[in-house]
Amino acid sequence: RSVYDDQPNAHQRFMEKLDACIRNHDREIEKMCNFHHQGFVDAITELLKVRADAEKLKVQVTDTNRRLQDAGKEVIAQTEEIIRCRVQQRNITTVVEKLQLCLPVLEMYSKLKEQMNVKRYYSALKTMEQLENLYLPRVSQYRFCQIMIENLPKLREEIKEISMSDLKDFLESIRKHSDRIGETAMKQVSRPNRVTLVLFSTENSSVDSLRSRILESKNEMTLKRTFEEDDEHEEEVLTAQDLVDFSPVYRCLHIYSVLGDGEIFENYYRKQRRKQARLVLQPQSSMHETVEGYRRYFSQIVGFFVVEDHILHVTQGLVTRTYTDELWNMALSKIIAVLRTHSSYCSDPDLVLELKNLIVVFADTLQGYGFPVNRLFDLLFEIRDQYNETLLKKWSGLFRDIFEVDNYSPIPVANEEEYKIVISKFPFQDPELDKQSFPKKLPMSQSVPQIYIQVKEFIYASLKFSESLHRSSTEIDDMLRKSTNLLLTRTLSSCLQNLIKKPHIGLTELVQIIINTTHLEQACKYLEDFISNITSISQVTVHTARLYGLSTFKDARHAAEGEIYTKLNQKIDEFIQIADYDWTMSESDGRASGYLMDLINFLRSTFQVFTHLP
């Protein structure tokens, strides 16, 4: 800074000192160079020597590098191949890993398709559930998985439609097979009770001998069919499952349950079955004409409820006891109304008896499945009254036929054998007649043992209906006595009254009718014993109704006696009307008129006939 001060010659002095300083340094540098010069020369000399070696080394290195490059080309190619393979290997490993994730999905989807093809729809739904919850979330980023996810709801709908179609086929199948199922069930119920032993007796038989006759519990047609079945080999006991494949309804129920639509399925099933119930309960218009019509009607109903009972016990919630009870109560009301209507058309007692047997088997069958059937047995009592009416009509015709063919003269017996034949049919006892020698005559005519036999046959016929009604012997005894009383007081009494009023019945016939009614009246106590024997009810220990035959036959005798008076007076009037007087006669010739003699002879012979009267 002082160089630039305003001192005079300052710059000049600075330059001089600077030059002096430079000269000092140059001298030191020169000394330094002189000191190291020899070493520098030696180094240059050595460097020149190294230069030649360096050139030689350079040539060797260049040659070595060339040879190395030539040799490295193959290594580079192999290395590049290795790198490429390593990349491929890595890619393959990645692909394998991804395929290991995708293959189970594809396998499950393939399994799903196979299950769909072989109609294993419930398993297919389980497979879908596994796909959605377990497999597809792992590979959801792939496009094919999106396609699968979109297809699964469509497959579910397809399964629902197919299952519903199978259910409809099942419903149609059980509608067709209901009668076969019901027939099989009713046959199994009726098989143990094919023939019922019933005691009967003639009036002179002991209690032990009463057990010698078997009363057929079914009518002739049913018994014949039963014996034909006995001759065959025992059939295998079939169940509803043997006759109908229930797998569609199980499968459909499981499928809809898995899909969360179980309630929809239940409502649909119950609705369809209610419709089928209404069809089953609708009878054919001609059902009352043949027993087969009733049998088919009952078989279909039994088959329907057997199926419902089976569904109730093998499924959970599809059918409930409340639902089946409600359905049965509805059906029972309809059945009773139908039977009331159609049974009223039946005029054949054999058909009514067949109907009763079918109703009993029908009721016992359904009772075995837990359905209440008391109302059906109450209905049977209504039908029993109708059955008795048809019997009364039938026996009215039988009585008329017997009276028509009767000759109204005492029964002649030529020997002991003929006598035993008559008393085996009718309980006749007369010690005075027994002392007489053969040939002899029994006081009653042929109609008396025939009427007695027919009354017993009526009791048998009435008893057939009372069997299997789950009633006590006392009740059955009471029923038989009431129906027999109706036969005596209404049917037989009416036939007797009509017979007495017929114009071709003369005084001799009327006298024989009075004698006949007397013997029939005496036989009433044997009829009471007969009823007690077949029902095993003692009249001593239990109060039983009496037969009103006494009053019936007394009334008939009074009517016959009144008719005798009428006809006798008419005959006398006829004799008087043919009187012919000779008004010109001057005096009597001492002889009675001819008509008067004829009248007296007529009265004499008539009064001779009257000696047979009590």
- If one compares 19 and 585, the residue with the highest pLDDT of the two is 19
Residues 160 and 308 placed together within one structural domain of the fold = yes
In the block, residue with structure tokens 């049974």 = 343
450, 519 contact by CB (below 8 A): no
Residue 87 pLDDT more than 90? Answer: yes
- If one compares 243 and 229, the residue with the highest pLDDT of the two is 243
Structure tokens at 405: 């063919």
pLDDT at position 203 is 34
Tell me which range, 83-87, 123-127, 493-497, is most confidently predicted by mean pLDDT: 83-87
172 assigned to some structural domain = yes
490 assigned to some structural domain = yes
Residues 173 and 59 placed together within one structural domain of the fold = no
Residues 352 and 293 placed together within one structural domain of the fold = yes
- If one compares 420 and 233, the residue with the highest pLDDT of the two is 420
Residue 485 pLDDT more than 70? Answer: yes
Per-residue DSSP letters for 343-402? HTT---HHHHHHHHHHHHHHHHHHHHTT---HHHHHHHHHHHHHHHHHHHHHHHHHHHHH
Measured CA to CA, the distance from residue 328 to residue 209 in angstroms comes to: 47
Residues 276 and 127 placed together within one structural domain of the fold = no
In the block, residue with structure tokens 């003929």 = 418
Measured CA to CA, the distance from residue 104 to residue 18 in angstroms comes to: 97
104 assigned to some structural domain = yes
Give which of 458, 430, 455 is closest to 444, Cα–Cα: 430
Residues 100 and 183 placed together within one structural domain of the fold = no
CA-atom Rg of the chain in angstroms: 62
Neighbours of 599 (CB within 10 A): 19
Kindly report the backbone phi and psi dihedral angles of residue 487, in degrees, each rounded to the nearest multiple of 5, phi listed first.
-60, -45
- Distances in Å between the Cα of 387 and the Cα atoms of 197, 270, 384, 466, 530 are 22, 38, 5, 11, 21
- Distances in Å between the Cα of 133 and the Cα atoms of 114, 143, 149, 192, 257 are 20, 18, 11, 58, 18
396, 376 contact by CB (below 8 A): no
State the pLDDT confidence band at 249, using cuts at 50, 70 and 90: confident
Put simply, whether the predicted model's pTM sits higher than 0.95 gets the answer: no
pLDDT at position 239 is 65
State the pLDDT confidence band at 454, using cuts at 50, 70 and 90: very high
Residue 540 pLDDT more than 60? Answer: no
Residues 278 and 158 placed together within one structural domain of the fold = yes
Residues 337 and 278 placed together within one structural domain of the fold = yes
Q: Specify the DSSP class assigned to residue 288.
A: G
600 assigned to some structural domain = no
Residues 137 and 169 placed together within one structural domain of the fold = no
Share of the chain above pLDDT 70, in %: 87
Residues in contact with 377: Cβ distance below 8 Å, sequence separation at least 6, in sequence order: 363, 469, 470
- What is the domain count for the chain? 3
pLDDT at position 205 is 34
Residues 166 and 272 placed together within one structural domain of the fold = yes
Question: What's the CATH number where 449 sits?
Answer: 1.10.357.30
- Rounded average pLDDT over 584-595: 73
302 assigned to some structural domain = yes
Report the chain's mean pLDDT, rounded to a whole number. Answer: 81
Lowest mean pLDDT among 13-27, 386-400, 562-576, 598-612: 598-612
Kindly report the backbone phi and psi dihedral angles of residue 175, in degrees, each rounded to the nearest multiple of 5, phi listed first.
-65, -40
- Rounded average pLDDT over 403-427: 88
**Helical H segments across 259-373, by residue range:** 262-281, 291-314, 321-343, 349-368
201-235 pLDDT per residue, tens: 333 333 233 233 323 333 333 333 333 444 443 44
Kindly report the backbone phi and psi dihedral angles of residue 441, in degrees, each rounded to the nearest multiple of 5, phi listed first.
-125, 135
Q: Which domain holds residue 157?
A: 152-190+240-371
Last residue of a domain, one of 557, 573, 589: 573
593 assigned to some structural domain = no
- Rounded average pLDDT over 175-199: 68
pLDDT at position 546 is 67
Residues 136 and 165 placed together within one structural domain of the fold = no
Residues 301 and 334 placed together within one structural domain of the fold = yes
598 assigned to some structural domain = no
332 assigned to some structural domain = yes
Residues 355 and 268 placed together within one structural domain of the fold = yes
Per-residue DSSP letters for 76-139? HHHHHHHHHHHHHHHHHHHHHHHHHHHHHHHHHHHHHHHHHHTT-HHHHHHHHHHIIIIIGGGG
Give which of 291, 476, 495, 283 is closest to 384, Cα–Cα: 476
pLDDT at position 240 is 63
Amino acid at 139: V
- Rounded average pLDDT over 147-159: 86
